[in-house]
């Protein structure tokens, strides 16, 4: 059996350029081989079987098998495996607009390891990501407590909007079999540094939404947050600084359902246990 060795082949930019060898012979490339490139719309209209090219849109080599193009060796960070983890749910949907909501591998620069997280691709344009503790890690009752996300490089989830809460219900459903009673002890990790204060005349949502907002209340990132769209009988003065508020059992979200005016109690600093959602919080 003979071997044909070709050195430093460059610039095979026209897909019609081919090297034909008799059966049983080997083509050995020693140097650079540049295959043709195209996007989905620019693929050859009448390809021959075995034609190889690089699809710049799919970021992958593809081969025509006589019927369809088959992709191999994709470099796109599509969250399909740990080595293709995206840096956040927001980055994932930005780079891969055709994805549907579900489980994807995520690894932000703060995360020591890639984790499979639930990424919503629809609410508020998509990009919310979630990780469920499933009862692991410490119990928390204040924003200053060490929570399960610290070791993972994640933050406590921040409920940006009612739509974000809806995405969170889907995450709990997918990640921990809809264990809503455990995950909805607290109200979105909203807090204020100081105790006390009567806020029954304020709508509990950030200034992003307009109206008479409670300026001392916040989430850790300083970005937008939402609990309800009308005033409430809480917070009414018995709050303990940096603490979590407890959601009323009748107001707990369920899959695909979130009240526009969730009820809660600000008494003290409520322990929300060790079932809670974590996130990169990249979508602000």
* Count of other CB atoms within 10 angstroms of residue 9: 15
The pLDDT value given to residue 74: 58
Positive or negative torsion for Cα 161, 227, 181, 219: positive
236 strand-pairing partners: 198
The pLDDT value given to residue 50: 87
Per-residue burial over 15-51, b if 16 or more Cβ lie within 10 Å, else e, is beeeeeeeeeeeeeeeeeeeebeeeeeebeeebeeeb
The pLDDT value given to residue 91: 96
The pLDDT value given to residue 63: 87
Do 163 and 240 touch, CB atoms closer than 8 A? no
Separation of CA 109 from chain center: 14
For the full predicted model, state whether its pTM sits above 0.85.
Answer: no
The pLDDT value given to residue 215: 83
For the chain, what are the domain ranges?
3-72, 78-284
The pLDDT value given to residue 5: 46
| Stretches in the chain below the pLDDT threshold 70 | 1-28, 30, 71-75
Mean pLDDT, all residues of the chain: 89
| CA–CA distance, 180 with 228 (Å, rounded to integer) | 19
């Amino acid at each position: 059996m003979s071997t044909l060795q070709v050195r430093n082949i460059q610039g095979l930019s026209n897909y019609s350029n081919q090297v034909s060898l008799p059966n049983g012979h080997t083509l050995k490339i020693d140097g650079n081989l540049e295959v043709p490139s195209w996007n989905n719309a620019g693929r050859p209209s009448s390809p021959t079987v075995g034609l190889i090219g690089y699809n710049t849109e799919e970021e992958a080599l593809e081969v025509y098998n006589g019927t369809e193009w088959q992709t191999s060796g994709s470099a796109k960070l599509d969250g399909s495996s740990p080595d293709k983890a995206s840096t956040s749910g927001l980055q994932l949907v930005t780079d891969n607009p055709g994805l549907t909501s579900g489980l994807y591998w995520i690894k932000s620069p703060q995360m020591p390891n890639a984790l499979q997280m639930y990424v919503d691709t629809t609410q508020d344009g998509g990009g919310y990501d979630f990780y469920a503790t499933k009862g692991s890690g410490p119990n928390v009752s204040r924003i200053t407590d060490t929570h399960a996300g610290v070791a993972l490089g994640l933050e406590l989830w921040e409920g940006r909007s009612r739509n974000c809460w809806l995405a969170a219900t889907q995450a709990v459903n997918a990640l921990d079999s809809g264990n809503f009673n455990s995950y909805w002890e607290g109200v979105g990790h909203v807090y204020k540094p100081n105790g006390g204060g009567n806020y029954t005349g304020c709508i509990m949502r950030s200034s992003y939404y307009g109206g008479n907002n409670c300026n001392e209340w916040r989430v850790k990132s300083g970005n937008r947050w939402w609990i309800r769209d009308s005033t409430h009988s809480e917070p009414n003065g018995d709050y303990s600084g940096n603490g979590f508020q407890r959601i009323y059992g009748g107001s707990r979200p369920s899959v695909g359902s979130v009240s526009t005016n969730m009820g809660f109690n600000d008494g003290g600093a409520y322990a929300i246990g060790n079932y809670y959602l974590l996130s990169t919080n990249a979508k602000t």
